[in-house]
Structure 1
Amino acid sequence: MKLGETISFPTFSVGTDQAKTEPKEGALPSLDIPATDFSSFSATSETTKNLTQVETHTGEEGEKVEVEVRVKLFEFVKVGESSSWKERGAGPLRILVNPTTSRYRLVMRTDNAIRVVLNALPYADMRIEKPHEKQIRFTCINAVESSSKIGSFWIKLMNGPDTNTLFRALEKVKAHSKIHSEGKEEAKEDAKEAKEGAKEPKTTEVKT
């Protein structure tokens, strides 16, 4: 699937056994996750007391955090003839902006392993939906998977306010991406016209 193509969100339920049966039209996958799942790891837990502090580099040092919320991430995966929502982990989802280029990206790392599970640039035609008070669905190309295909992602949040904050932020960066993309195309056209205008006019010798 290429950018610009229409994509519909799948509506399969979470779990391998349930993936074979599609629910009724309009039904949503069951993603009711206890809030305790989000607080199973904290900076003051016993597992961190005896750790030696070391300097780490995440690649995000030069970027500004616009929004950060805790989520649980699911990705729609097709394996053969079966399809299902697969859990990718829980942790902070950040919307980062590069002050130099003004480009945004979505980054999520899991709590325990600090493993990057989402690294994506928003684009003008990405789908963003809020099917539930504490759920958001969206499409993106996840660079973590080293794939150029558009994937479907579903996130579960802890509360309504966080969901609204993230949803508005995603709509904002999508609009910004559209303007940025259109601006680049206009700049290319202007440069092309300027280049054409800079050419010396051709003269044709007329014999008399």
Structure 2
Amino acid sequence: MSSAEGTAKEAPVAATEAQAGEKPVTSSAVFSMFGGGAKKEKKDDEEDRGDVSGSNKAQREAAAAAAATSKEGDEDEQAPESEDVHFEPVIRLTEKVDVKTNEESEEQTFKMRAKLFRFVRETSEWKERGTGDVRLLKHKENGKTRLVMRRDKTLKVCANHYVLPEMKLSPNVGSDRSWVWNATADVSEGEPEAVTLAIRFANSDNANSFKDAFIKAQTDNEALIKSVTKDDEDEDEGKEEEEGAEEAKGKEKEEKKEETAQDS
């Protein structure tokens, strides 16, 4: 046998041995050739890393919450207790003072809302004095009745005089809800002065109610004035009688002295 034939026989044997020594090719090996296996492994690695990073994030959040709670607790423990602090007022309020209106000893017999006017002689015109409640007040001791009117809100007196018998209510320019009268001694401005006043009501019924109450007050005051006048007259008469009796006694003593002197 020649060397060429020997070589040809050995070649198939070597190929057979090589085939017997190789492993069979699996599907995974095929996919790995196109990169399939590497991607799966990479995905698994990412999932593992994701789980680890998520766990770390949860741990960090839990640690931060615990630290915040601990800080709040420390602040509560360190916060000092509030002390009773007294602050002096910048402006001291004055003590409450009861303001007297000189109406404490009077009884209200009439009250009605109205508007008051005063006639100004210098300019020959009516000036408004104010709007408020016109009232008739009767003194509890001497029984005298006066008319008082105060302005709304300010309560400033705009009319204040006794209701005297000589006063006469007259319709103002023929109105059925307004009256005019003269007061010889109104003291709303402090000093007594003669004034001409006009008052206007919401309707004629209110005006008539005021007139009735005004006339009644005039009648009561007139009776008081007469009573006081009579008492004064009686008192004067009593004084005159006493003085006359004293004079008579004095004359009688003088006469007795003269008689005694003559006898001696």
The two structures share one fold, judged by TM-score above 0.5: yes
Task: Place the TM-score, normalised by the shorter chain, in its bin.
Answer: 0.5 to 0.7
CA distance in 1, matches of 2:188, 2:129: 12
CA distance in 2, matches of 1:146, 1:125: 22
Q: What amino acid does structure 1 have at the position aligned with 2:213?
A: A
State the match for 1:190 in structure 2: 234
Correspondence for 1:76 among 108, 114, 119: 119
CA distance in 2, matches of 1:172, 1:127: 13
Q: Report how far residue 57 of structure 1 moved.
A: 4.2
Greater fraction strand: 1
Correspondence for 1:157 among 192, 201, 208: 201
Give the TM-score, by structure 2 length.
0.53
CA distance in 2, matches of 1:90, 1:183: 36
1:88-167 map, 5 Å: 88-130=129-171, 131-140=174-183, 141-167=185-211
Q: Deviations over 1:40-59 (max 9, x none)?
A: xxxxxxxxxxxxxx975433
Whether the 8 Å CA contact 2:187–2:193 is kept in 1: the answer is: no
Q: Report how far residue 152 of structure 1 moved.
A: 0.8
CA distance in 2, matches of 1:189, 1:142: 28
Q: What amino acid does structure 1 have at the position aligned with 2:118?
A: E
Task: Provide the alpha-carbon RMSD of the alignment.
Answer: 2.2
Q: What amino acid does structure 1 have at the position aligned with 2:189?
A: E
Quick check: 1:171 aligned with 2:215? yes
Q: Structure 2: state its 5+ residue gaps.
A: 1-96
Q: Report how far residue 108 of structure 1 moved.
A: 0.6
Query: 1 or 2 for the larger relative contact order (CA 8 Å, sep ≥6)?
Result: 1
> Alignment identity in percent?
28
Equivalent residue of 1:171, what SS?
helix
Q: Deviations over 1:141-199 (max 9, x none)?
A: 22012343321100100112211111011111112222222222211110111122233
Whether the 8 Å CA contact 1:70–1:92 is kept in 2: the answer is: yes
CA distance in 1, matches of 2:193, 2:155: 25
CA distance in 1, matches of 2:106, 2:236: 33
Q: How many residues align?
A: 153
Quick check: 1:63 aligned with 2:115? no
Equivalent residue of 2:188, what SS?
helix
Give the TM-score, by structure 1 length.
0.66
Q: What amino acid does structure 1 have at the position aligned with 2:125?
A: S
Structure whose alpha-carbon radius of gyration is higher: 2
Q: Report how far residue 86 of structure 1 moved.
A: 0.4
CA distance in 2, matches of 1:194, 1:60: 35
Q: Deviations over 1:99-146 (max 9, x none)?
A: 111011111111122111111112221222234221111121220123
Q: What amino acid does structure 2 have at the position aligned with 1:148?
A: P
CA distance in 2, matches of 1:143, 1:102: 19
Q: What amino acid does structure 2 have at the position aligned with 1:163?
A: A
CA distance in 2, matches of 1:60, 1:196: 38
